[in-house]
Structure 1
Amino acid sequence: MFYETLARYYDRIFPLEATKVTFLAEEFGRVKAHSVLDVACGTGTYALALAEKGFAAWGTDLSPEMIRQAKQKAERQKLPVRFPVGDMREPGTLGIVFDGLFCIGNSLAHLLAEDELRHALAAMRETLRPGGAAVFQIVNFDRILDCGDTPLPVIERDKLRFVRIYKPVSAELLHFYSRLAVKTDDG
């Protein structure tokens, strides 16, 4: 439910970062990638940016609302990016092998158990051609566990305020709390 609500504001909270696009394009260029998969793509921003650079891009996300928005953006931009609803633990259900794969934005942290993470990474590896490139991004959780309650930088843009805090609940588990405030025209 959280991501279905967040989808409406997602692009305003997390706008495209050109340096990430450049990094991804360079990494995929090193292995002469043509087809790339954005795992847990949100509203598809990075898959679309890579398509603009000539990659045959796909994006999957578990949230139907995120995927709906990604498809709308692809249509508006007239880009041939495919956006099926999909689980990052099972990218093989697409039936395609990709030259490159990426999972950014700390999406892997949604996998709570180590065996679940291992399964997802193995499934992603099976979806990647031999010699292909995979890029992953995560928060430094060791630092959070060492420091205790750790707020991430508050994001304030365009009448939005997004607060995120990690709280350790054990030596191996963190709870993630977030709050989105939207300022209306009437205050």
Structure 2
Amino acid sequence: MRSYRQFASVYDRLMEDMPYSEWMHFARKCWQQYGTPKTIVDLGCGTGNMAIPLAKSGFAVFGIDLSAEMLSIARNKWDEPSAGGGRRDSGAVRWLQQDMRDWELPEPVDAVISFCDCLNYLTEPDDVIAAFRCTYAGLAKGGLFLFDVHAPITFERYAEEQPFVLDDKDVAYMWTCDYDEATHTIDHDLTFFVRDEGPSGSDAVYHRFEESHSQRAYDPEWITEQLAAVGFELLHRAADFKWDAPNESSQRLFYVARKPE
């Protein structure tokens, strides 16, 4: 498992079209149905695009991520006057650099979320099981675990459609994929060119950097089995931001599990 490094500096720019509002809607729908939490862990919180809105809505949030660079950006965003905790309806955020395979807090929380296919970055089955165990241990009795993962078919589509190219004025990238059908593992190789205006604004240059990331898709039934083996009660499975059950064409799979009372 690898943390984001230089990619953190352009992450929000490249992810601005991601459906964060749909993830939020899905979480709130789950909480309306199964119980609204007071304390939440955002596991794999990145630059805080879920954690900050949740805190502003009044929740006490722990943003956990492996990347110090991503957490630094999240802290700066939260500390901005327009985002910080000065509003009466705001909760609070604590940012913690921890590995999702062995995270822990002093006290259990009411809910854990892990969206944007964070668990796909665990490319060994034992690592997924370790993350489930830590999450189970970190939840209060009756606590909810909400997460999504890419289905194997999604990586097959990536492999068929790659390479991907972006050419904007401020940032450009080339993104290629190498897919192993036997293990459902995909390697993403990205080359970025990021514009730097320079001190005068008229002598812009482009800085190049490269990053590689690996993800693995797991059989949906295997995930269900591992949740049960850890002790979770599976409440619901859904797909593609809808409440409907997944089917063979589903791209993004959602799980709602609970630690029994």
| Offset at residue 167 of structure 1 (A) | 2.5
* Counterpart residue number, 1:121: 132
Asked whether the 8 Å contact 1:96–1:127 carries over to 2, the reply is: yes
| 1:32-73 Cα shifts (integer Å, max 9, x gaps) | 211111101111110001112221111111111111111111
Structure 1 residue 7 corresponds to structure 2 residue 8: yes
SS of 1:32's partner is: coil
Residues 22 and 140 (structure 1), Cα distance of their counterparts in 2 relative to 1, 3 Å cut: same
| Offset at residue 24 of structure 1 (A) | 1.8
| Offset at residue 150 of structure 1 (A) | 4.0
Residue identity (%) = 23
Q: Which amino acid counterpart does residue 25 of structure 1 have in structure 2? A: R
Residues 133 and 2 (structure 1), Cα distance of their counterparts in 2 relative to 1, 3 Å cut: closer
Number of corresponding residues: 185
- Distance across 1 between alignment mates of 2:162 and 2:24: 22
| 1:78-134 Cα shifts (integer Å, max 9, x gaps) | 132110111101122x22211111111111122121111111111111111222221
Higher helix residue share? 1
Q: Normalising by the residue count of structure 1, what TM-score does the alignment of the two structures yield?
A: 0.84
* Counterpart residue number, 1:43: 47
Q: Which amino acid counterpart does residue 93 of structure 2 have in structure 1? A: V
Compute the RMSD of aligned alpha carbons: 2.6
- Distance across 2 between alignment mates of 1:162 and 1:130: 45
| 1:129-186 Cα shifts (integer Å, max 9, x gaps) | 22222111111124535x6824479484663345555433351142321314335345
Report which of the two structures shows the higher radius of gyration computed on alpha carbons.
2
SS of 1:51's partner is: helix
* Counterpart residue number, 1:149: 159
Asked whether the 8 Å contact 1:162–1:178 carries over to 2, the reply is: no
Structure 1 residue 174 corresponds to structure 2 residue 185: yes
Structure 1 residue 96 corresponds to structure 2 residue 107: yes
Q: Normalising by the residue count of structure 2, what TM-score does the alignment of the two structures yield?
A: 0.62
* Counterpart residue number, 2:96: 84
* Counterpart residue number, 2:147: 136
Structure 1 residue 56 corresponds to structure 2 residue 60: yes
Residues 143 and 19 (structure 1), Cα distance of their counterparts in 2 relative to 1, 3 Å cut: closer
Please point out which of 65, 72, 78 is paired with 1:68. 72
Residues 162 and 107 (structure 1), Cα distance of their counterparts in 2 relative to 1, 3 Å cut: farther
Q: Which amino acid counterpart does residue 63 of structure 1 have in structure 2? A: S
> Where does structure 2 lack aligned partners over 5 or more consecutive residues?
86-91, 196-203, 207-261
Residues 154 and 168 (structure 1), Cα distance of their counterparts in 2 relative to 1, 3 Å cut: closer
SS of 1:4's partner is: coil
Asked whether the 8 Å contact 1:99–1:132 carries over to 2, the reply is: yes
- Distance across 2 between alignment mates of 1:124 and 1:2: 19
Which moved further from structure 2: 150-159 or 51-60? 150-159
- Distance across 1 between alignment mates of 2:55 and 2:31: 12
SS of 1:120's partner is: helix
| Offset at residue 14 of structure 1 (A) | 1.4
